[in-house]
Structure 1
């Protein structure tokens, strides 16, 4: 008969297993990496292209006032949809306490020129000093879009 010796004096492993915590953190990181590009705060428009575009760095600032005219001629002030009649008053309210009264326009290349012109007139009537028309740099092989509405 064999006598089995018990190891009752063996120490318990007191290390914390961090593998599940690391797994959860990596999953959260992946989720944030996937969702962050979707959190675009701009209205989606296809900007017109220009050969001689000038960089307007102030247009990408958080407090920049932008008016977007979409392909279906809807008007957005920053990211809120508005009407042409309300545009001037809302722009005036936004620029009340600002020293530089600049409004940037992001007009879709296929939007009606008349709608963009009316929006510029409404903004100018509100007392805006400068208007910036945002475009994309045209590469030599790209052509202007055709088939406007």
Structure 2
């Protein structure tokens, strides 16, 4: 008669497969962290935009096609938050006008930028064939439609 307890055990054999479950768990957690943190890591151009009073009735709808041009306090011009030279700006404005002449130029200029610099960009846009120009501003605190500052 053969009993199982009388046989000598063969011993433990090393595992030949890698357990990938912990690796997948860590990678998914890292992916979620990067998805959440990505918008915060994007470089934003810090501008002190002019402030104006505006109500919800004065705000128009977002245009179908637009380009965003910004001028920082040092006078540097940006195309969608990327620095650009005047020559390259002229070329991009002409390309945009050829592709869609109804595109709007949304101009964001710091409050300290001289008026002449803003007019220069308006002239470049019109010379390229883009006549729709929008000025982006911040809303004054306490203005109609703006949340009032808390009383202390």
1:124 aligns with 126
Unaligned runs of 5+ in 2: 10-18, 147-152
1:24 aligns with 27
Q: 1:32: how far off?
A: 2.7
- Which of 62, 73, 76 is the equivalent residue of 2:75? 73
Within 5 A, what are the aligned runs for 1:68-107?
Answer: 68-107=70-109
Report the CA distance shift for 1:86/1:19 in structure 2 as closer, same or farther (over 3 A).
closer
How many residues are matched?
Answer: 133
Unaligned runs of 5+ in 1: 9-15, 143-149
2:36 aligns with 33
- Which of 109, 112, 115 is the equivalent residue of 1:110? 112
Decide which moves more: 26-35 or 104-113. Answer: 26-35
TM-score, normalised via structure 1 length:
0.67
CA distance in 1, matches of 2:99, 2:52: 33
Q: 1:88: how far off?
A: 3.1
Report the CA distance shift for 1:20/1:96 in structure 2 as closer, same or farther (over 3 A).
same
Within 5 A, what are the aligned runs for 1:130-141?
Answer: 130-140=132-142
CA contact (8 A) 2:49 2:108 kept: yes
Query: What is the RMSD of the two structures over their aligned residues, measured on CA atoms?
Result: 3.6
Q: 1:29: how far off?
A: 1.1
Rg larger in structure = 2
1:48 aligns with 50
